Structure 1
Amino acid sequence: MHTHATAEAAVTLSYLLVESEAFTGHNDATASLYANGKQHSTVLVTLQARDSNGEAVGLPSNAKVELIPYVGAYSGTWKVTNASSDFEVFPERTAVVQAIAPDPQNQQFKLYIYNNNATTSTLSDRFAVQVTWGGLAFRTNHPDVEYGGSGDAGKFNSSFKLQSVPAQKYRVSEAPAQEIFRGTVNGFTGSLKRVALTLTHPTTGQPARLYASAPVTNFASTHHNKVASGVYFNSIKAAIPNLPASLSSATHELFKKYTPTPEDYSILISAWSRVDDTFTAREQSVFSGPLDVYGNPVSLNVHLVSERTTEPAYWELYKLTLSTSTL
């Protein structure tokens, strides 16, 4: 809902048009957004109010500008706000038509719509706009009127469609392990390797861009003499359970050998040559909390399996399996 104050007395609308900002100039275009409650889709409402003398004036202070179903009822629960989101718009191709210069007497408002329906399916609805004040109501859901903002005797016809879609799983790939440290820590021989990760958006094919302000849940995968820990931006996330007393402080010191960099998203794997000192097994864990720039959670499922062997030369062998989810 949007309100606008003015001292003039408007009695009618001579122009009223609603559009998706991503498809300006197109009637009934379909825009998309993710059903995560964070990403917004921008709606443009253009209008011209007139007083009893036919002069262009602003809307009165009690006017309401709100979205309504073009017909029937919504299939989903949509929320509308006047505040824009920090998250980027849906990664789709926009199709803005270069229109003639707008009438300087027009007023234009932006509304931001979002959806947080918990569903794995796509919801789609058709929207019109309604402007009301002092017992007057003007709507754009009159199909008997020609499309456009000019209308006919206070009746208008324009709309847009919006579909709410579930988040998609990123494709995850890993670079060859990079050795960060090999040597003695607190009297124990160990090594630290870093596996850099690349997440690729399934629709755009572009690398993931993550939203740095989201809180992240710590994790660690443990098996035999090894620990896999997550790195997210400038911090190492290593909640390591039930460490053997002999290696507890040494393991935390080993992780300190690596200094994360901005935008860092990777896995650190520590290993100790003392294969008889084993960690409580937690092979699978989830690195949850990071959001992408569209507001979707990007959870990383980590499965660490130690290739345990009594051969001294093979104490660092492991297998790492990674996948992503949207939970």
Structure 2
Amino acid sequence: MGGEGHFALRLTHEPPEGAYFTFRVILWLNKGVLGVSDPRKVWMFKPTFLENLTSGAVIKPFQQFEGTGGFRNKEIRLVSEDGTVYGRDTVSDIGTWAITPITELPAGSVQLRIEQDPQLIGNGESKQWIKKDIYHSFEVERMASNSRISEAASAVSLSYLLVETEAFQGQQDASARIFANGVQKCVALITLQAIDSNGIVTLLPDNLDINIVPYTVASGNWVSNAIAPAAGFLPFPEQRASAEDAKGLHESLSVVPTNYQQFRRYVTYNQMPEGTVIRFAARVKLPNGVEYITNAPVQYGGEGQNGRFNSSFQLRSVEPLQYTPQNNGLVVSEYEESSEVIEGFTTRVHKRNISLRYPGTSTIVNFHPSSDTAPDSSLHDNKATAFGNPGLVVLKKDIPANNQLGRALNKALETILQPQSGAITVVVGMYARVAESFPARQVSYYTKGLDVYGNPLRFIVSLTSSNPQRDPWVYTLNIGWAGGQVQDEDKPPLGNWLSNLNIAIDSASNRVYPNGRQQMKVTVSVEPLMSQTVTDEELESAKLLVRDASGKFTLLPEAANGSVAWFFSHEPNNYREYPGTKDSPSPAKVENKSSAVRTRVFYVMANTVSPAKPLETLYVGITRYVDGKPYNYITDGSESGFDAKVEVRTAEIPRFKVPDNYSFVSTLVDGNGNSDLFTWQYSLAGANVQQPEVAFVSANMAPAGMIQWDVKSPSATRASHVGFAQPGKVDVVYNTSIRLGSVFQPVRQVKNPKEGHVTLVLQGGNTIPFDADSAINQNGPCVLNVVDVYGNNHQLRISFKDASAQGRLELVLS
């Protein structure tokens, strides 16, 4: 305490945020109270803080901004110096937020701030707490290709078009290589510049009809599409371009426009003979239908002549690698030993790492993390083997456990220590008790392995025990190459059962708003061969599948908890479909000309999650039962003739602005608007977005109503009272915390409610006794949350025009 009696207090315990903190100051002297202050109230608030970025950082054009603080459950915005709002979010219950720009940030230096609207605290005191003059400086990267579609202009032609491989950029008609394993992909870069009818450069959409095609003609099993390789798979290891592979630089290739777009397409070869060479070009079809192919007889390069272009690359097939001890491709480490006592006897475990080298070299080649063998074990006498997948501690084995030997080795071979990433493990377990032995099954296989180039792997392990009665720890182990990955020989081809398995989007568009409500209809059609049938159980097994970054298929979830990007329901709801057309054609729907065609319908929806997933590809999985045994199939092309999938996308949720995008019309339905007794009805709906009128389907207002007297005086009796009714409904809901006295009777039903419109009822009376608590705490504004026919949320504020006597006679929307 200072000499003049001033002092400062510092809080040592954090009070709750978003609430008043009430305290008194008590002065003590020798256990006696000198004095007690009046109660003081302080509004506790945590200001905003940008967590994931610092001022001066280099950011992406659609960089996400993450932070904490601010008024909870209120909108927070990312705003530039000129007032442009680039993104919005709502502060969560725990005070976190993440704003992703809905409009591309301008390239170069930019000043941005985080802001919220002022909030009313207590008796009308307005606090901002977020200084608008505090800006963060960032450097926004220039986009090399389009992320959003420019709607300002329409492309009519191309002024530049060049195709090349990523491995040999700038080289004329370069020859690249690819393993013909159906997994590895050669990356083709298609660089172009589009112009509109005025010669101004314009952007083309991400879903542009663009692909790789033969320069002339080509045969063989090859595919080109926009699907990038799964995570972890590498391109062909082109060490350097030989004189044959690269014919040198061409002057025209060095002239590349600065404001270009670049598209990637991925070419795959599957079971193509070694040395097969195909020359490829690029084909581009503009939205106006004009088509270009880079095989015109003009000078090589991207500039072309009179709208004709010439560029290409060659792709030579290479047989999948074989890893054997003879070519130094298969490397087996020395074993590491561990031991323990199980059921009274010693077990020993020998762990060996199996790694790969590029055949004939010392270059390490890793197993791909998706390698996952089926359980299998070699068994002989008192010994058994197990496999470990790359980097995993849990072992895969198939050891009978019907006696003490089996129990002991199953336990000893459960897990391993320090698995090696990029390598598999072969483990031998041995048991000192030799009174029991396994039935001889000395050979086991590691199957379904892949290297990082996508080449299939299959290894054989042979175990030979040597007189365990004399020495239980002696054995011979051989590990060798067993050829590429093989199909389950038991599994009958899908074509032996079905003539067609199809998936199609039956909605007008393949887009939905990511609001967890709007649906698109997806139909799976199953048609058996004439000699076959599809049972109810088999039809019910038809599921929608998605593929993750590693290539693994998982079920599209049926329930929505807000944390999944895409999900489905078997039941339709009443929200309207997205008002548009498909971005890309859906596979042709199977015409139900035969009673044998059976269908299963899914209603697909999307949520807004972080990170966003605006695009998903849906496949079909189905199970066939033969003599009670299930066989699973996926329409990913692994079964000949059954490559069925559809792309689904999210659409950006539109922003509605007050007043332009809302219809808020008042009608006097009772009394005199210039007297104390009146009833106004306000009809509220969306407007001028998607269609002239956007209907609402549900509403919730908090609080459910408000009141304002003409004067704040104990003798006042003239007041305006507000309630609301659900869209198209007649029953009016009011705020039950408002005290109205015993004489005034609120209107209970709306007159002539409009379908799709929320109704606000403003009723005047002169027999409502003044109530201080209602006047202070229930005078608005009211927050109105509505959902429109597309499932999108709207949050609006309903308030009296102002605090004056005349202000209570009118409602305003904000």
TM-score range, shorter chain: 0.7 to 0.9
1:280 corresponds in structure 2 to 439
Contact 1:241 1:280 in 2 (8 A): no
Deviations 1:181-204 (A, max 9, x none): 1x5320223322222333212166
1:50 equivalent in alignment to 2:195: yes
Following the alignment from structure 1 to structure 2, what is the Cα–Cα distance between the partners of residues 3 and 194?
50
2:304 corresponds in structure 1 to 151
CA 1:179–1:81 in 2, change beyond 3 Å: closer, same or farther?
A: same
Give 1:132-147 correspondences, 5 Å limit: 132-133=285-286, 134-142=288-296, 144-147=297-300
2:395 corresponds in structure 1 to 237
1:326 corresponds in structure 2 to 484
Return the match for 1:110 from 264, 284, 290.
264
Contact 1:300 1:323 in 2 (8 A): yes
Report how far residue 245 of structure 1 moved.
Answer: 1.1
Following the alignment from structure 1 to structure 2, what is the Cα–Cα distance between the partners of residues 211 and 243?
31
Following the alignment from structure 2 to structure 1, what is the Cα–Cα distance between the partners of residues 289 and 376?
58
Report how far residue 129 of structure 1 moved.
Answer: 0.9
Report how far residue 82 of structure 1 moved.
Answer: 4.6
Following the alignment from structure 2 to structure 1, what is the Cα–Cα distance between the partners of residues 413 and 205?
63
Return the match for 1:165 from 315, 318, 336.
318
Contact 2:166 2:187 in 1 (8 A): yes
Identity %: 31
Following the alignment from structure 2 to structure 1, what is the Cα–Cα distance between the partners of residues 431 and 207?
71
Following the alignment from structure 2 to structure 1, what is the Cα–Cα distance between the partners of residues 205 and 353?
57
CA 1:257–1:163 in 2, change beyond 3 Å: closer, same or farther?
A: closer
Report how far residue 80 of structure 1 moved.
Answer: 1.2
CA 1:42–1:52 in 2, change beyond 3 Å: closer, same or farther?
A: same
Contact 1:8 1:60 in 2 (8 A): no
Return the match for 2:177 from 21, 32, 39.
32
What amino acid is aligned across from residue 14 of structure 1 in structure 2? S
Contact 2:215 2:295 in 1 (8 A): yes
Give 3-state SS (helix, strand or coil) of 2:153's partner: coil
1:250 corresponds in structure 2 to 408
Following the alignment from structure 1 to structure 2, what is the Cα–Cα distance between the partners of residues 229 and 60?
51
Contact 1:180 1:258 in 2 (8 A): no
Following the alignment from structure 1 to structure 2, what is the Cα–Cα distance between the partners of residues 60 and 254?
58
1:92 corresponds in structure 2 to 238
Q: Which has the higher strand share?
A: 1
1:177 corresponds in structure 2 to 335
What amino acid is aligned across from residue 358 of structure 2 in structure 1? H
Following the alignment from structure 2 to structure 1, what is the Cα–Cα distance between the partners of residues 272 and 430?
41
What amino acid is aligned across from residue 68 of structure 1 in structure 2? V
1:212 equivalent in alignment to 2:369: yes
Give 3-state SS (helix, strand or coil) of 2:364's partner: coil
Following the alignment from structure 1 to structure 2, what is the Cα–Cα distance between the partners of residues 209 and 61?
34
Contact 1:3 1:63 in 2 (8 A): no
What amino acid is aligned across from residue 234 of structure 1 in structure 2? L
1:192 equivalent in alignment to 2:349: yes
1:16 corresponds in structure 2 to 161
**Larger deviation: 40-49 or 186-195?**
186-195
1:289 equivalent in alignment to 2:448: yes
Report how far residue 212 of structure 1 moved.
Answer: 2.0
Following the alignment from structure 2 to structure 1, what is the Cα–Cα distance between the partners of residues 424 and 365?
10
Question: Which one scores higher on RCO, CA 8 angstroms, separation ≥ 6?
Answer: 1
1:130 equivalent in alignment to 2:283: yes
Contact 1:231 1:260 in 2 (8 A): no
Following the alignment from structure 1 to structure 2, what is the Cα–Cα distance between the partners of residues 46 and 320?
54
> RMSD value over aligned CA atoms?
2.9
CA 1:225–1:82 in 2, change beyond 3 Å: closer, same or farther?
A: closer
Contact 1:76 1:125 in 2 (8 A): no
Contact 2:224 2:265 in 1 (8 A): no
2:380 corresponds in structure 1 to 223
What amino acid is aligned across from residue 313 of structure 2 in structure 1? F
Contact 2:191 2:260 in 1 (8 A): yes
Deviations 1:130-158 (A, max 9, x none): 2223242221112x311111111222111
Report how far residue 128 of structure 1 moved.
Answer: 0.5
TM-score, reference length from structure 2: 0.37
CA 1:289–1:135 in 2, change beyond 3 Å: closer, same or farther?
A: closer
Contact 1:3 1:62 in 2 (8 A): no
What amino acid is aligned across from residue 266 of structure 2 in structure 1? Y
Aligned positions, number: 321
After TM superposition, the runs of 4+ consecutive aligned structure 1 residues lying more than 6 A away are: 96-99
CA 1:37–1:69 in 2, change beyond 3 Å: closer, same or farther?
A: same
Name structure 1 gaps, 5 residues minimum.
Answer: none
Following the alignment from structure 2 to structure 1, what is the Cα–Cα distance between the partners of residues 205 and 397?
57
Deviations 1:54-105 (A, max 9, x none): 3333347985222211002333331312545322211112559797573213
**Larger deviation: 242-251 or 38-47?**
242-251
Following the alignment from structure 2 to structure 1, what is the Cα–Cα distance between the partners of residues 227 and 430?
52
Name structure 2 gaps, 5 residues minimum.
Answer: 1-145, 324-328, 486-814
